[in-house]
Structure 1
């Protein structure tokens, strides 16, 4: 089965130092995040959980370059001018483009030659069970299939850093479990560095090399846990006593923070 993932031997892919974000101006300013320190090693899958409004999505948007920090800094060690790809809760795909065109979108922006872009798009459509829907439009797809399109689009550009903001939150419980297991298989095969925001403790334990717990706003990291399940792992770990114990421990931490919201 191999040993649990240990990032110490890797230089960090992402480093945040004294990171803060404030919205608005005094006297109505809202301190949303930090100060926060964070490192994510190359190939590591880090899950972040916390109460609503604690700044989880703010952290991810700073990492994606969609927001600037108020103070501190966040750095991504990269060899690419476009190192990150982001997957949103609301899919973020284009209704007026076919499934194939959506998956090709990031490749077109990168200037990937058409033949190579077609090959990579077709590969990811096949991997995610979307090959038969290449010419369909998102409005004709289920929520789970739309999220598969978003995942295929993100991974087709071969990002150095994958940023996922509660990507399965809008799905029903059964479909959510299926997509968790599919993502687990893909990310274990690719070892793509991933920062994953979720409200689901189960999701975080199944997917993560580390689970970070954030405080109520302004969000700070108050605890770190390493799920005791070696790689490669499967969704079968949900049935173990260790899984149940860790989920309970994380819930106790979150419950204390949630009552402060």
Structure 2
């Protein structure tokens, strides 16, 4: 928390919707610091402002008061320009384009960044291979399973080498077995890349498997009321789910969340 050069820093951040007397205080005041390379999971009751926070970080919403800053690095290749928004976002409903092939979807952000063609082709090929999509490069999303579509969304987001990866319940629409597989794939991927990640989930298991830190948010307007650092060293695998420590921490977090969810 005391990193002198955080990747993300929010100070007294609030967001309200509408006007009095129908104004809704959705978020904050909220303080948040995320260190470079850190994977932070946010859990909280429905409607507590988790998605609002992510949309502010993505530049899709403006805060009502306070600030949210993302520290950017210069691009590795001086010919490239950084995207106007240094964050890439992955949604629960995939957010990929049905009329574009898998290859064109993964390439989309690189074209916006004006990455040179040779470099873009190499990155697209790398991510198609890495995500097990090479055989589906010319397919359209409608022909793919939910898990494959979410892999396309992850490949598209990571191909642009974002400063910050924002994930809004990306596996919520998947069945339990596929969700576990995708959690383990993302765990492996993010441990090797060390991309700074802010991840929203309703699943305590997901948060404890993936996160360096798990932050618990209050009922609306959302504030951070607790912080836990799962005591599982990295590199870790999904096998930590079977440990007594995992079960105990999950129960502890659930008690916190239950208290917040009841008034909501």
Selected match of 1:174 from 173, 177, 188: 177
SS in 2 for 1:12: coil
Q: CA deviation at 1:82?
A: 3.4
Q: CA deviation at 1:125?
A: 0.6
Whole-Å Cα distance in 2 between the matches of residues 250 and 238 of structure 1? Answer: 15
Whole-Å Cα distance in 2 between the matches of residues 54 and 213 of structure 1? Answer: 10
1:106 corresponds to 2:109: yes
TM-score of the aligned structures, taking structure 2 as reference length: 0.95
Q: CA deviation at 1:9?
A: 5.0
Whole-Å Cα distance in 2 between the matches of residues 220 and 9 of structure 1? Answer: 21
Whole-Å Cα distance in 2 between the matches of residues 249 and 67 of structure 1? Answer: 33
Unpaired stretches in structure 2, ≥5 consecutive residues: 74-81
Match of 2:30 in 1: 36
Match of 1:164 in 2: 167
Q: Tell me if the contact between 1:165 and 1:198 (Cα under 8 Å) persists in the aligned partners.
A: yes
Whole-Å Cα distance in 2 between the matches of residues 225 and 184 of structure 1? Answer: 18
Report matched runs for 1:170-249 at 5 Å.
170-249=173-252
Deviation readout 1:57-95 (Å, 9 max, x if unpaired): 000000000000001010011134431100001000000
TM-score of the aligned structures, taking structure 1 as reference length: 0.96
Whole-Å Cα distance in 1 between the matches of residues 136 and 65 of structure 2? Answer: 45
Deviation readout 1:229-248 (Å, 9 max, x if unpaired): 01100000000000000000
Unpaired stretches in structure 1, ≥5 consecutive residues: 1-6
Match of 1:149 in 2: 152
Moved more, 219-228 or 81-90: 81-90
Matched positions, count: 255
Match of 1:60 in 2: 54
* Alignment CA distance shift 1:9-1:58 (3 Å): closer
Q: CA deviation at 1:113?
A: 1.2
**Structure 1 residue ranges (4+ consecutive) displaced by more than 3 angstroms after TM superposition:** 7-10
Selected match of 1:259 from 252, 258, 262: 262
Whole-Å Cα distance in 1 between the matches of residues 25 and 253 of structure 2? Answer: 25
Whole-Å Cα distance in 1 between the matches of residues 238 and 5 of structure 2? Answer: 29
Q: Tell me if the contact between 1:10 and 1:42 (Cα under 8 Å) persists in the aligned partners.
A: no
